[in-house]
């Protein structure tokens, strides 16, 4: 079960964008990297193509290591590590280690 999912809000705690917050746009579990809106921007020089005549510089989010972010708890709004709790029904929920609230 993934600790961080698409749509989560996270805080960057390491790297160039330390201190920034953003929404998770994509998760790559295999390489343990994620894309966060507005974080890890890379610029690429794009050659003109038939579809895009202008070319020029394209800015887009690059992946950052999953370990560089903390989830911002939707319950208490604090950055936290994520734990898990299992309900009687067997359903597994994520748990905020700051306030102890489960969510999902
Ligand atoms: Zn919390």
pLDDT of residue 49: 78
* 2 pLDDT tier (thresholds 50, 70, 90): confident
Q: Where are the beta strands (DSSP E) in the chain?
A: 9-12, 21-28, 33-36, 41-46, 56-61, 64-65, 69-72, 79-80, 82-86, 92-96, 102-103
Report how far ligand 1's centroid is from the alpha carbon of 64 (Å).
23
Domains of the chain: 1-72 (2.30.30.30), 80-104 (no CATH)
Report how far ligand 1's centroid is from the alpha carbon of 82 (Å).
9
pLDDT of residue 8: 97
> Could you report the per-residue pLDDT of 4-61, keeping only the tens digit for each?
999 999 999 999 999 999 999 999 999 999 999 999 999 988 788 777 777 788 899 9
pTM: 0.85
């Amino acid at each position: 079960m993934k600790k961080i999912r698409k749509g989560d809000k996270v805080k960057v705690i390491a790297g160039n964008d330390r201190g920034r917050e953003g929404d998770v746009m994509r998760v790559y579990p295999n390489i343990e990297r994620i894309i966060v809106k507005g974080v890890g921007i890379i610029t690429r020089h794009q050659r003109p193509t038939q579809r895009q005549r202008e070319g020029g510089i394209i800015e887009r989010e690059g992946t950052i290591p999953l370990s560089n972010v903390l989830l911002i708890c939707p319950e208490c709004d604090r950055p936290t590590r994520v734990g898990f709790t299992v309900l009687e029904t067997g359903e597994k929920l994520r748990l905020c280690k700051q306030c102890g609230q489960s969510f999902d």
